Structure formats: C-alpha cells, structure tokens
C-alpha cells in the first residue's frame, strides 16, 4: 500500500514537473521553480528578513563578525576536503592551515586571523567537486527554504549536510540554536545585496536564475571560463547567425546605431 502511494506521489511530481516544461532549456521546471520561489519569498518576507534586520540592527558588530567567523571556520573544514578532492592541493592545504590557525589562535574560529595573515578564504562544496569532475549541472532547481540549486547540486546536498560538523554538535538545543543563528547571520549579511537585487531586476525570478547559474558555473571553475555546458547555453544558437550576417548587407539602416561585433573577448 505504502509502495503504491510512493509510486503515485512520484508520478504526480513527475507529471507536475513535465507539465510545466518552459521555453528555457536550462529551466524546464520553471512552473514548479516559480512556485517554490514564491513560497521562499514569503518565508523570507515574513520571518527571515525581519529577524535578520533586527539581528543586524540590535547585536553589536563584533558579535556578528564572531558568529560568521565561527561558522565560516567550521565550513572551512569541508572546503579543504573538497579542494583536496578536486586536486587543488595548494588551496586545500591553505584551507587546513586556516582551520588550524583560526581554531587555536582565533579562539575556536571566532577571530579570522588567517585572513588577516593573507590566507584567503575559499568556499567549496560537493556540488562544485562533482562539477570539477565533469558532472554537468543539469537543470535549475529551486529548493524549498534552501533556494537556488541545480539537479547536480541537489544530489550533492546530502553529502554536504553529512559533512557539516555542526550537525553533530551536542546537546541538541545548542545545535538548534546555533543553526538558527547561522541562518539569520547569513541572511543579515545579504540584506544590502537583496535590496540591490530588487532594484536591478525586471523579473526577480529570472534575474536570480540567470545570475545564479552563471555564478555557480564560475564557482565550479574558480572564476575561470570553464568549458561551457552546451545544453546550458541556449544563447549560442542566437549568436551563431551573427557571423554570416556581417558579410551581408545590413537589413535596415544602421547609420545611427552601428551594431557592435558579437565576438567575446578572449582571455
């Protein structure tokens, strides 16, 4: 019976997902994603953002810095592991050094003295590691409460969660309080950015999707132009007819606005 229910449920989900296949090949689940996006937005509007605003205005700056450093230090452990998994030994060792310095001289990570000493903080997760190993990102996927992701990164998520040291913190009430504090602190750090985003975007859903997908790809390749996923770049076909066009006579008077060349600069 329960098996049947699972089957029915997964069929229903698959049906919903397939039913809203949008025009954007990177975002075939747009209908579902938009629904989750709106849900997340409401949670943010009524719970997270107000809490984060109060947190930012009420608690002293050194406390906020301490909180973000403390959890940042815990995250550095997994970042180091992922850098090593990706074969970036230099970065991985540097991350381990950061953890060692910050956990001791930095009073359990509350002070980020490693950054001041010139060891730059990195941020790596298992999704990026999979990407570096060549796993394509797959379509865009909006996760409830967690926000933008891709199919690949969602598959990697359980690994990231298992590897988070705070998951194993005892007692449970300390762990839960810490988790809430961590989320609120992270949201507080984004308050200015989210205001900017609202100003810049015509359609916030699309703007966040298109910006986030690029950013994620850039994270996987550490800011370099990686081999672009062909299926993840629908614009390619748009730009292709540009080249022959250049030899033909322009279709319309272009005197006022000469069309710039569409070639991307090489690095």
Partner 1 sequence: MKLIKQLIAVATVAFATSAFAAPAPANEAPDALVKRISSEVLETAKADKDIQAGNQKKVMDLVETKILPYVDFQRMTSLAAGRYWREATPDQQKQLAAEFRTLLIFTYSGALSQVKDQTVDFKPMRSSPGDTEVEVRSQVNQQRGEPIQLNYRVAKTDAGWKIYDINVLGAWLVEAYKGTFASEISKGGIDGLIKTLSEKNKKLASKPLKTAGK
Chain residues that interact with partner 1, rule: CB under 8 A: 23-24, 53, 64-65, 68, 72, 90, 94, 117-123, 189, 191-192, 194-196, 199-203, 206-207, 209-212, 214-219, 223, 235, 238-239, 241, 245, 251-257, 259-260, 262-267
Contacts of 182 (CB under 8 A, 6+ apart): 67, 71, 166
Give the whole-angstrom CA distance, residue 52 versus residue 182: 11
Query: Closer CB to partner 1, residue 1 or residue 202?
Result: 202
Question: Is the torsion defined by CA of 200, 202, 207, 208 positive or negative?
Answer: positive
Q: How far is the CB of 101 from partner 1 (least distance, A)?
A: 11
Query: Closer CB to partner 1, residue 17 or residue 201?
Result: 201
Query: Closer CB to partner 1, residue 19 or residue 50?
Result: 50
Q: How far is the CB of 2 from partner 1 (least distance, A)?
A: 41
Query: Closer CB to partner 1, residue 58 or residue 255?
Result: 255
Query: Closer CB to partner 1, residue 38 or residue 120?
Result: 120
Tokens of 172: 């449970």
Q: How far is the CB of 3 from partner 1 (least distance, A)?
A: 41
Q: How far is the CB of 45 from partner 1 (least distance, A)?
A: 11
Query: Closer CB to partner 1, residue 120 or residue 177?
Result: 120
Q: How far is the CB of 65 from partner 1 (least distance, A)?
A: 6
Please report where in the chains the tokens 């205005």 appear, as a residue: 57
Q: How far is the CB of 73 from partner 1 (least distance, A)?
A: 13
- What number of other Cβ atoms are within 10 A of residue 76's Cβ? 28
Give the whole-angstrom CA distance, residue 237 versus residue 217: 20
Tokens of 85: 């998994």
b/e sequence 14-53, b meaning 16+ C-beta within 10 Å? eeebeebeeeeebbbbbebbbebbeebeeebeeebbebbe
Give the whole-angstrom CA distance, residue 239 versus residue 246: 12
Residue 149 DSSP SS3: strand
């Amino acid at each position: 019976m329960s098996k049947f229910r699972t089957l029915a449920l997964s069929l229903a989900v698959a049906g919903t997902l397939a039913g809203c296949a949008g025009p954007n090949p990177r975002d075939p689940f747009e209908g579902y994603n938009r629904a989750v996006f709106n849900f997340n937005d409401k949670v943010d509007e009524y719970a997270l953002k107000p809490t984060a605003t109060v947190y930012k205005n009420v608690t002293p700056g050194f406390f906020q810095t301490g909180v973000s450093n403390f959890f940042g230090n815990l995250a550095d452990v997994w970042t180091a592991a992922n850098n090593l998994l990706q074969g970036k030994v230099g970065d991985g060792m540097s991350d381990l050094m950061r953890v060692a310095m910050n956990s001791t001289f930095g009073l359990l990570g509350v002070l980020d003295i490693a950054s001041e000493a010139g060891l730059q903080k990195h941020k790596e997760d298992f999704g990026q590691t999979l990407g570096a190993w060549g796993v394509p990102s797959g379509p865009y996927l909006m996760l409830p409460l967690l926000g933008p992701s891709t199919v690949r990164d969602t598959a990697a998520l359980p690994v990231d969660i298992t590897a988070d040291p705070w998951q194993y913190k005892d007692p449970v009430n300390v762990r839960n309080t810490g988790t809430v504090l961590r989320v609120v602190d992270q949201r507080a750090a984004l308050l200015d950015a989210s205001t900017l985003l609202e100003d810049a975007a015509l359609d916030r859903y699309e703007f966040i999707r298109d910006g986030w997908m690029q950013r994620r790809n850039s994270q996987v390749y550490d800011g370099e132009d990686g081999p672009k996923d062909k299926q993840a770049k629908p614009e390619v076909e748009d730009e292709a007819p540009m080249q022959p066009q250049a030899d033909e006579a322009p279709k319309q008077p272009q005197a006022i606005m000469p069309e710039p060349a569409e070639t991307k600069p090489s690095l």
